């Protein structure tokens, strides 16, 4: 995603995947706490205009939305309606929202949401089988135009077959980044890829994480190579709908 929009910052840990949350990690490096919630100065970023009166962000861009928090966090309830107003105004941009709180989705959508907006992708995160079985039935039920399953950080082998259908546009998988993080096994990644191919659902291995186990051996992969090494694995697959470049 070329443009990041963080209307608010700070989050609360909600499940196993949050253990080494990068928001907490980065904030700690600056003597701050990732749990401290605040609305950021870039709240209006997508609707900012230049001196010529044109939007600063050009039409067609993919906007990584709320990546230093969770868009559906309860602490953001008072501000989300305004964020939806911005997303509604910029129908020409593609907003990608990842969440570990899909159970809050129905209570957090605007009144004119209908069956979903064309310019919004929702990524439901499932880091292990327990969270997949808890979140994906809700994810498949709520009205969304573009659904993506995010298996990151991938913590164990997953069986997603019950949830893969034409309702899912893509499954994207990644290991965990950081120091002393949990291992991602290459066989788990290949297993999800196989399930996606069988169901003709697009698949992306977007990053290896810092510790990748392959054929029983653990490889430590520096941050700068985690995306390129994943791509090099050659597992990406275009299903019924082509992969969106997140
Ligand atoms: S939901 Fe995401 S941003 Fe929030 S604590 Fe968990 S990993 Fe961090």
Report the 3 state secondary structure along the chain. CCEEECCEECCCCCCHHHCCCHHHHHHHHCCCCCCCCEECCCCCHHHCECCCCCECCCCCCEEEECCCCCCCCHHHCCCHHHHHHHHHHCCCCEEEEEECCHHHHHHHCCCCCCCCCCCEEEEEECCCHHHHHHHHHHHHHCCCCEEEEEECCCCCCCCCHHHCCCCEEEEEEECCCCCCCCCEEHHHHHHHHHHHHHHCCEEEEEECCCEEEECCEEEECCHHHHHHHHHHCCCCECCCCCCCCC
Q: How confident is the model at residue 211 (pLDDT cuts 50, 70, 90)?
A: very high
**Mean local confidence (pLDDT), 147-166:** 97
Domain of residue 8 covers: 1-107
Task: Give the rounded percent of residues in the chain with a pLDDT score beyond 70.
Answer: 98
End-to-end CA distance of the chain: 5
The reply to whether 176 falls in a domain is no
How many angstroms separate the CA atoms of 48 and 198, rounded? Answer: 44
The predicted pLDDT at position 226 comes to 98
Give the list of residues 6+ apart from residue 234 with CB closer than 8 angstroms, or none.
none
**Mean local confidence (pLDDT), 144-159:** 98
Q: How confident is the model at residue 244 (pLDDT cuts 50, 70, 90)?
A: low
Pocket test for ligand 1, best of 4, 6, 14, 126 (most atoms within 8 A of CB): 14
Count of domains in the chain?
A: 1
The reply to whether 148 falls in a domain is no
- The atom number, within ligand 1, closest to the CA of 98 reads 2
How many angstroms separate the CA atoms of 100 and 98, rounded? Answer: 7
Task: State in Å: Cα 235 to ligand 1 middle.
Answer: 27
Find out whether 60 and 94 touch, Cβ atoms under 8 Å.
Answer: yes
The reply to whether 90 falls in a domain is yes
Q: How confident is the model at residue 243 (pLDDT cuts 50, 70, 90)?
A: low
**Mean local confidence (pLDDT), 202-211:** 97
- The atom number, within ligand 1, closest to the CA of 24 reads 8
Whole-prediction pTM value? 0.95
The reply to whether 181 falls in a domain is no
Task: State in Å: Cα 13 to ligand 1 middle.
Answer: 6
The reply to whether 49 falls in a domain is yes
The reply to whether 41 falls in a domain is yes
**CA-CA distances (angstroms) from residue 62 to 3, 102, 175, 200, 245?**
7, 21, 23, 24, 8
- The atom number, within ligand 1, closest to the CA of 22 reads 8
The reply to whether 6 falls in a domain is yes
The reply to whether 99 falls in a domain is yes
How many angstroms separate the CA atoms of 189 and 195, rounded? Answer: 10
Ligand 1 site residues, Cβ closer than 6 angstroms: 11, 13-14, 17-18, 21, 23, 69-70, 100
């Amino acid at each position: 995603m070329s443009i990041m929009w963080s209307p608010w910052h700070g989050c609360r840990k909600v499940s196993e995947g949050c253990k080494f949350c990068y928001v907490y990690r980065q904030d700690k490096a600056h003597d701050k706490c990732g749990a401290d919630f605040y609305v950021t100065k870039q709240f209006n970023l997508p609707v900012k205009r230049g001196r010529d009166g044109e939007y600063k962000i050009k039409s067609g861009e993919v906007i990584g939305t709320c990546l230093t928090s969770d868009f559906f966090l309860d602490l953001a309830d008072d501000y989300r309606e305004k964020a939806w107003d911005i997303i509604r105004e910029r129908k020409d941009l593609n907003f990608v929202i990842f969440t570990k709180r899909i159970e809050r989705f129905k209570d957090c959508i605007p009144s004119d949401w209908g069956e979903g907006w064309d310019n919004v992708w929702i990524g439901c995160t499932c880091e292990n089988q327990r969270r997949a079985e808890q979140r994906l039935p809700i994810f498949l039920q709520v009205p969304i135009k573009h659904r993506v399953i995010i298996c990151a950080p991938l913590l164990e082998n997953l069986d997603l077959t019950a949830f893969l259908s034409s309702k899912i546009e893509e499954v994207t998988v990644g290991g965990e980044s950081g120091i002393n993080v949990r291992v991602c096994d290459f066989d788990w990644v290949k297993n999800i890829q196989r399930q996606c191919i069988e169901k003709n659902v697009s698949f992306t291995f977007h990053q290896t994480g810092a510790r990748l186990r392959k054929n029983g051996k653990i490889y430590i992969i520096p941050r700068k190579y985690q995306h390129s090494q994943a791509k090099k694995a050659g597992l990406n697959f275009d299903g019924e709908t082509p992969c969106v470049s997140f």
